[in-house]
Amino acid sequence: MRNYRVIISENASSDLYAMATYISTLYRVESGHNYVNRILGQLASLSYTADIYQYSKFVTAKKIHPFAKTLSIMNHKWTVVFHIEINYVMIDRFMPSKLMY
């Protein structure tokens, strides 16, 4: 089993910021931060489980990266698009799961 270092791309970071901002407008500022922290906690497991995921068959994910893999998080509300590069797991985007086709 390999261990990877998880890196979040600039686009994915913008997606997380947009999520936190939206949730903060509906509830409290802390709620947005807590939601993002829960997402980051789930992504930490990719450091040792990234190899078990197969390459995605979703067209949307393949447009982001040709060797993209996907992970459904937060009760299947969000899909994480990521790929593996040497010793790194690169998180490319966070997308609503209903937009994956």
For residue range 87-96, list pLDDT tens digits in order. Answer: 999 999 999 9
When comparing pLDDT for 101 and 58, which is higher? 58
Mean per-residue pLDDT for 24-31?
A: 92
Residue 101 pLDDT: 75
Q: Give the pLDDT confidence score for residue 1 in this predicted structure.
A: 73
Query: Any idea what the Cα angle at residue 86 is, between residues 101 and 50, rounded to 5°?
Result: 45
Token pair for residue 81? 């698009």
d(CA 81, CA 68): 6
pLDDT of the residue at 82: 98
